[in-house]
Chains A and B, each alone.
Chain A
Amino acid sequence: MSVAALIHVVVSGLATGSIYALMALALVIIYNATRTLNFAQGEMLMVSTFVAWAAQRALGLPPAASLVVAVVTGGAMAWAIERVVIRRAVAATHWDVLIITLGLSLILRSVAGLVWTHDEFPFPSFFGSRPIALGPVRLAPVSLGIIGGSLSLMAVLYALFSWTRLGRAMRAVAQNQRAARLMGISVERVYATSWVLAGAVGAVAGVLVAPVVFLSSKMGLVVINGFTAAVIGGFGSMPGAVAGGMLLGVIENVAPLYLPSGIRYSVPFLVLIAILVVRPAGLLGRVEQRKV
């Protein structure tokens, strides 16, 4: 295997990894606010991408506008789900919310199948797939575009969390809900914002990945890679989610190069289990101490 080929495979892995990282970020944003997993994150991504595609076909929108449609749909759907279902759950513990989101994921996939069938559809890309040559190395604009797009979104999120009032409020809630409430932060608003933000981040990931894996009711399954990435990075840590996603993408791509076919697909999950056993808090997470 030439070095040039290896570089291409790694860059492809980073592109896939960026998508996993965005999924992981969306999961972590909700987790930090509400201490629960959103199993429906993948299906929310799928539905927002489908809506963008349908709008594009019906109205002849340019790709940039379909990105906006996806983000708005993702945000609005997340807001509605939080308002209508999650917040009203009787005496919701995080288990209950987990089960509810599991139910939501089944419903969303089912509805998508009814509306758009279970077929696969091509999704227009912002970026071409004809390679650019850098010496012997060939890189695809589509991979670079996904990586670039994801990194820009991460930068925006970083700015939001570091430098805005809202971001500070969200970090405060993540650290200590009670203290945050006592400081006059509306925890409910933080919940809602977190869901909307996660929905929007998921939608961007959907629009970026759909040209590569194609649009279908199955594409929500990427949420499982998002979970894995988030756990590898340390659930709750946003830099961890990014690192975990990138690492997972690269491992998934490089493993088939060197490992026999029997075990290569288990590698991501074996890495996950190993990390859980050796370092349960993940690469960049902190072990939570619970006071009694």
Chain B
Amino acid sequence: MTARARRGLLAALAVGLAAWPWVAPRYFVFLASLIFVNVVVALGLNLLSGYTNQLSFGHAGFLAIGAYTAALVAIHAPRVPVVVTLLAAGVVTALVGLAFGVPCLRLGGLYLTMATLAFGFVIVEAILSLDALTHGADGLRVPAVRLGAFGAFGDTGRYYLTAVTATLMVAAAVNLVRTRTGRAFLAIRESEIAAQASGVPVAAYKTIAFGLSAFYTGVAGGLFAFVVGFLSPDAFDVFLSVDFVVMIILGGLGSVPGSVVGAAIVTVLHDSLAAFQNYRPLIFGVILIACMRFMPGGIAAATRRMSMRLVVSLVLALMTLAAVPPAGAQQGVTDTEIVIGCSNSFSGPLAYTGEQATRYGVDLYLKVVNDAGGVNGRKVRSVYYDDGYKPQEAVANTRKLLEQDRIFAVIAPQGTPPVMATLEYLEENKVPLLFPFQGSPVIRGKKYVFSGMTLYDRQSKMMIDYLVGQRKFKTFGVLYQDDDYGKAFLTAYEKDLGRHNLKIAAAEPVKRGVTDVSAQIAKLRAAAPQVTFLVLTPGPGAQALKERQKIGWTDTVMVSSGPLTDEKYLGLAGDAAEGVEGLSLWPDPLTSDLPGVKAYRAAMQKYFDKNEPNRYSLSGYFAAMLFVEGVKRAGRTLSRETLIGALENVRNFDSGILPPLSIGPDHETQKQGFWVRVEQGRFKPLTDWLRSD
């Protein structure tokens, strides 16, 4: 290709990229920003892996350092221009990277890989434990980008910020190869021993590569923080590092254009597979193996002599394809259809709950309604995307739902960090967020949010008032999950016990996915509380009960939180669950004679006969029921505003599942629970519905 043609193509690309926010649908502007972020990460990872043969599974950790640095600078020094913030993110990450990398670089390939894997975990733990700075598991909201006279950046501003930064970083990487340092990298890549023999100080250059790689990834982290707008430790797990590895393997190790193409393809693929949930890791796994078996060296090697030319043509083609505006009705309502949906966990730690609440809960009731002719002549359709409990994916999915699928309302998403990450965006766009499957009180008092399950502080109030007031217990211990869910309960317990002039005797955190809780139980036992609260998920909850049985600890009453009081947990704990008490938010889905629960079981039998009834699907079913009630009341002239008005005026709605329910301007739906004790493997009610107000 002649230099002139080459310049022409590059100019076309520059024009295309510059014009992008003005021609493309909103969602693709956001997606493009994500691609640019990932391009910078892929470049950084490739500097390390491609040129020095060191694979890293810890780049999510570097990204986290950059992201949190940028967020903290933006929060505490809002006047600092964004360029400085990004540089700070890069420099801090590079320093941490060097502090960690210099001793580790002595290690051979496999060992360094292991060390980076460990590094990723340590960083996540560090974010969790520095919660005074990082807000720990609750997550951190990132303020909007400011650049002098421009004021706060919107989508377009963020797009240009990422585009310009990524372009500069690509240019730097291309030129790096032509410098002395770049030549040294290439020599090391070809043969470390030969390089050493030719007088290249291998150790020094490896250190430089490590620092540069961390710098790139740190800058990308800063961009990531601004584009996503919300950070939480869950965002940076080892699977994110794996995604980065897929990018450079697919694109080609040691190739700058390869990094760009790999990052773009993986980002777009990841996004377009969001609806396929379980198949996403499957497809990524197949890509990895296929690359290794049939295309070692990735796309860059497969197309040999691949230059910027191909990248540019590909990008231009993709951009033309994407610039088609999405079809769909405004606000997700047509004469015949209402579209609702959510981003939820279909992979990751809460995959089971997510799938049950949506596909077997919300959808179950929608099937019943649609088969009976719909609501006011409209059928209700649902769309779900998988976020794997990561806030960045919840943001992307929610934007996609709204901007591409044009949903009417968000229903039954799950988990505090993913829900919190989308809150501001939904509020800006005046989209109702209905009945999230989480009870953290942070969602209270928002104009467009209606709560789902009884909020944790109300649960705590009912539990403490009942245990102290009626049962006369005096000493309490807490075993809680070390995240937003556990900590919200812990804070509420402390406050409610304070009202009775009591204190928590001992509180022990349990990490998600832990294998053994013997130490925590031993410590709690040493404090000898009369009541021990369990604020956990079914697996660890059942483990705690078994552990208590193992040490023969009988002089405490184990009390499970509302979300834990569930048949799943009883099934896992077996005979160790006997005598456990708890606050039940729902009637027994398997045996209750309430008409609504019977109807739920009949529907489950009819539509999903292989799926056992459980509380998660029951709660989703109830959420859909409440939504349909709101839509009915809003009448034919359905809009977001009329739905909110209608829901606010729900009075004594009899679901046949919960006691008659009224929603007021406080937007809280469920407010009750009742006390249960496990007898012969089932929850037996001990009280009528308790009140929390």
Contact = CB atoms under 8 A, between A and B. Distances in A.
Interface of A: 1-2, 5-6, 8-9, 12-13, 15-16, 19, 37, 85, 88-92, 94-96, 98-100, 102-107, 109-111, 113-114, 117-122, 129-131, 133, 138, 140, 142-143, 209, 212-214, 216-218, 221-222, 224-225, 227-228, 231, 235, 249, 252-257, 261-263, 265-266, 269-270, 272-273, 276-277, 280, 288, 292
29 contacts: A1-B526, A2-B526, A5-B522, A6-B522, A8-B550, A9-B522, A12-B550, A15-B516, A96-B292, A99-B292, A100-B289, A102-B288, A104-B289, A107-B281, A120-B539, A122-B571, A131-B550, A142-B550, A222-B515, A224-B117, A224-B238, A225-B515, A252-B516, A253-B519, A256-B520, A262-B128, A266-B129, A272-B114, A276-B107
B21 interface: no
B245 A117 contact: no
B285 A213 contact: no
A216 to B, nearest CB: 7
A280 B549 CA distance: 41
Given A122-B571, A129-B550, A273-B118, A235 B519 contact: no
B539 A221 contact: no
Greatest chain A CB density within 10 A among B115, B509, B568 is at: B115
Contact of B294 (A2, A90, A103, A252): A90
Contacts of B513: 218, 221
A182 to B, nearest CB: 24
A117 B549 contact: no
B516 A107 contact: no
Contacts of B516: 12-13, 15-16, 212, 249, 252-253
A141 to B, nearest CB: 9
Most buried by B among A94, A110, A131: A110
B642 to A, nearest CB: 38
B242 A276 contact: no
A44 B574 CA distance: 27
Nearest to B279: A110
A119 B352 contact: yes
Given A227-B114, A261-B509, A277-B103, A89 B292 contact: yes
A120 B568 contact: yes
Query: What are the nearest 6 A-B pairs in CB distance?
Result: A103-B288, A262-B129, A106-B285, A118-B351, A107-B285, A110-B282
Interface in B529-571: 538-539, 542-543, 546-547, 549-552, 568, 571
B523 interface: yes
A277 B546 CA distance: 39
Contact of B122 (A12, A113, A218, A266): A266
Given A90-B296, A110-B281, A120-B568, A276 B114 contact: yes
A249 B296 CA distance: 39
Contacts of B117: 224, 227
B508 interface: yes
B393 interface: no
B500 interface: no
B103 A95 contact: no
Contacts of B281: 106-107, 109-110
Nearest to A36: B110
Given A113-B351, A217-B351, 19 more contacts: A8-B518, A19-B515, A88-B293, A94-B109, A95-B109, A98-B110, A103-B292, A118-B352, A122-B542, A122-B571, A130-B549, A131-B549, A138-B552, A142-B550, A213-B515, A252-B516, A265-B125, A270-B122, A280-B111
Contacts of A120: 352, 538-539, 568, 572
A98 B288 CA distance: 10
Interface string B349-392: 10110010000000000000000000000000000000000000
A138 B509 contact: no
Nearest to B55: A95
B523 A214 contact: no
B404 interface: no
A89 B293 contact: yes
Contact of B508 (A19, A89, A256): A256
A100 to B, nearest CB: 5
B380 to A, nearest CB: 25
Interface in B118-144: 118-119, 121-122, 125-126, 128-129
Give chain B's interface secondary structure class.
Answer: helix
Contacts of B292: 89-90, 92, 96, 99-100, 103
Nearest to B193: A292
B271 interface: no
A269 B642 CA distance: 54
Contacts of B431: none
Interface residues of B, number: 78
B65 to A, nearest CB: 15
A1 B508 CA distance: 15
Nearest to B102: A277
A217 B293 CA distance: 27
A119 B354 CA distance: 11
Interface in B249-292: 249, 278-282, 284-289, 291-292
A104 to B, nearest CB: 7
B511 interface: yes
Contacts of A235: 110-111
Nearest to B277: A113
Contacts of A253: 516, 518-519
A95 B108 CA distance: 12
B396 to A, nearest CB: 20
B242 A117 contact: no
Contact of A118 (B113, B286, B347, B482): B347
A253 B245 CA distance: 32
A266 B522 contact: no
A230 B301 CA distance: 35
A6 B551 CA distance: 11
Contacts of A109: 281
B523 A257 contact: yes
Contacts of B509: 261
Given A106-B242, A110-B279, A118-B347, A269 B118 contact: yes
Contacts of B103: 276-277
Contacts of B245: 99, 102
A207 B231 CA distance: 38
Contacts of A254: 519
A35 B97 CA distance: 27
Nearest to A141: B550
A122 B572 contact: yes
A271 B666 CA distance: 50
B129 A263 contact: yes
Contacts of B183: none
